[in-house]
Amino acid sequence: MMNTMTTDELTIAIAVPLESEHVERIRAVDPSITVLYEPELLPPERFPADHSGDPDFKRTPEQEERYWSMLNKAQVLYGFPNENPAGLARIAKSNPHLQWIHAMAAGAGGAVKASGLDSETLQKFKVTTSAGVHALPLAEFAALGILNGFKRSAELAQDQAAKVWPELRTPTKLVNGSQLVITGLGEIGLETARIARALGMKVSGTKRNIEAIEGINEVADNQGLAGLLASADAVVNTLPGTPYTEKLFNHEIFSAMKPGTVLVNVGRGTVIDEEALLEALDNGQVSYACLDVFAVEPLPQESPLWNHPKVMVSPHTSALSAAENRLIAERFVSNLRTFLDGGELPHLVDTVHFY
């Protein structure tokens, strides 16, 4: 949908914690826009890009009223209110002027779905994601996972902790010349492929719409995943959580893998059947799993993944970097210029498939 609003009517509200320097960058996009920013109404960040802010922060009743009044004056929001699905649901119902919300997450579709808003309401405004901003840190983390698996870092750490110097020396695998499969050849997947190729890996992968991609040896859809995995030494998942990706990595897919495959997940935890993964780890189909995301988060204390000797648990932090707020603000500024000029916004949440 093309934007039909004239710029002299446009008000933007900052709904999540953001440094003032980035707010000024947004204000500088066009002299005719108004940016509403009241930092005292926003929870302080505990770390860079802490979009939810300190959970102990509480607004007074007067501040709460001011917060929602500010948001209801805007046609554009920077962030979901209170950075949660309930905030999204509330603003969608209370703000009749709302045209566009820019989400902090790359995979904001899950939060949109969790808001419970019906399709008619979701057609009244656009939601864009910060997809691409996190591509480099996620790709670097994926490379870490591949190297950890190939170079046996988990076993080395165990030997070091036990002060064991093995009598028999165990060789490691060369990354150079090995085969990598990436599920999800979007921005994160393609950045992962770039780094993997720099390490000398041969890369294939999956995409919903099959098409030739420069530097990718073979592209298939999810139906062809098992065939790709038969010769893969490592697999990196970047897919979002949707009904179509739910437990994509199941017993059948793990069985199709070459024994000893290294698995990295920087997409969504629901893409992997964790019971099937544990079985694959125990029978050797998967030699090592580097996991940044899980089906339930935080990962339950009773999960056997915590203590599995072949698993690295990362608490969904691999996308974080000190530069994240700046990068998201730059993405929003670019999108805002497109919006003001009447262009099509990129990285829209699909309100049917929720990715």
Catalogue the active-site residues: 268, 297, 316
Tell me if residue 46 falls in helix, strand or coil. coil
Report the DSSP pairing between strands 100-102 and 126-128: parallel
Place of tokens 């964790």: 274
| Closest-CA residue to 137 (of 346, 354, 327, 332) | 327
Structure tokens at 84: 């949660």
**DSSP label at 298?**
S
Helix pair angle (187-198, 135-150), 10° resolution: 50
d(CA 67, CA 41): 6
| Closest-CA residue to 293 (of 342, 351, 249) | 249
Beta bridge mates, 327: none
d(CA 41, CA 313): 35
Structure tokens at 313: 């648990």
Cβ atoms of 33 and 10 within 8 Å: the answer is yes
Rg of the chain taking only CA atoms, in angstroms: 22
Cβ atoms of 270 and 244 within 8 Å: the answer is no
Show the beta-strand stretches assigned E in the chain: 11-14, 34-36, 76-78, 100-102, 126-128, 179-183, 202-206, 219-220, 234-237, 261-265, 286-291, 311-313
φ and ψ at residue 235, rounded to 5 degrees: -140, 135
